[in-house]
Chain A
């Protein structure tokens, strides 16, 4: 497929466990974003990568959240010592990089994380 792919689609974990969520962006897309979407709300920005460089992580809720994109393609969002308030849909988006001009972001279908 040519779209953004996220896995797993659903993840259930016990409070205190660590989880890892994966994002495969559209081939050739330089920019990659992670968002958190609570039930009934709009997506909220977590972090942004340009290639392998994490340029903004201001939206990460706490130091339990960590994201990486080591080779500038696939990205992983890791949450350590999960808590119930981490339950949400985690969305990944990618876009072409354009010098000084915003480009549309293409979203995956997300990972629904439930913390028991």
Chain B
């Protein structure tokens, strides 16, 4: 089955700086890579996703890159704000939508 590794597990940045989270996956058949933000006591919320036929996608301060050859993908958050503080999960999906999540990155943005 699919295995997704994510790092770092914790990340502290100063407000306004950038944050980068990296993930690798094992199953070359995976073709959809969503990123989720989870706040305390809430369910994961989709923030951006990328499909295997695209190398990069951007939405305002958030961007994702995908390298299918190397089987890794990354989340980039620029101009971080305190409200960006949360746990972020990468995920990989193949086949009929079965999602395998990474272990999460706890991001702390220091005002």
A33 near B43 (CB under 8 angstroms)? no
A101 to chain B, nearest CB (A): 8
| Dominant secondary structure of chain B at its interface with chain A | strand
Query: B43: nearest residue on chain A (CB-CB)?
Result: A107
Query: B91: nearest residue on chain A (CB-CB)?
Result: A42
The bracket for how many chain B residues form the interface is 20 to 34
Tell me the complex Cα distance, A31–B32, Å.
16
Query: In the complex where A45-B99, A56-B98 touch, is A91 in contact with B44 (Cβ < 8 A)?
Result: yes
B35-68 interface (Cβ within 8 A of A): 36, 41-46, 49, 51
A14-37 interface (Cβ within 8 A of B): 31, 33
Query: B49: nearest residue on chain A (CB-CB)?
Result: A104
> Is A4 an interface residue when CB atoms closer than 8 A count as contact?
yes
B46 near A105 (CB under 8 angstroms)? yes
Tell me the complex Cα distance, A102–B52, Å.
11
A110 near B43 (CB under 8 angstroms)? yes
Q: Per a CB cutoff under 8 Å, which of A4, A41, A95 touches B43?
A: A4
A3 to chain B, nearest CB (A): 9
- Give chain A residues whose Cβ lies under 8 Å from the Cβ of B34: 104-105
The bracket for how many chain A residues form the interface is 20 to 34
> Is A109 an interface residue when CB atoms closer than 8 A count as contact?
yes
> Is B100 an interface residue when CB atoms closer than 8 A count as contact?
yes
B99 near A105 (CB under 8 angstroms)? yes
> Is A78 an interface residue when CB atoms closer than 8 A count as contact?
no
A104 to chain B, nearest CB (A): 5
- Give chain B residues whose Cβ lies under 8 Å from the Cβ of A48: 96-98
A42 near B97 (CB under 8 angstroms)? no
Tell me the complex Cα distance, A114–B50, Å.
36
A64-107 interface (Cβ within 8 A of B): 91, 93, 95, 102-107
Other A-B contacts than A95-B97, A107-B45, A110-B43, 5 sampled, CB-CB below 8 A, are A41-B104, A104-B46, A105-B97, A107-B43, A109-B42
8 closest Cβ pairs, A-B complex: A42-B101, A107-B43, A102-B32, A109-B43, A102-B93, A107-B44, A104-B46, A102-B97
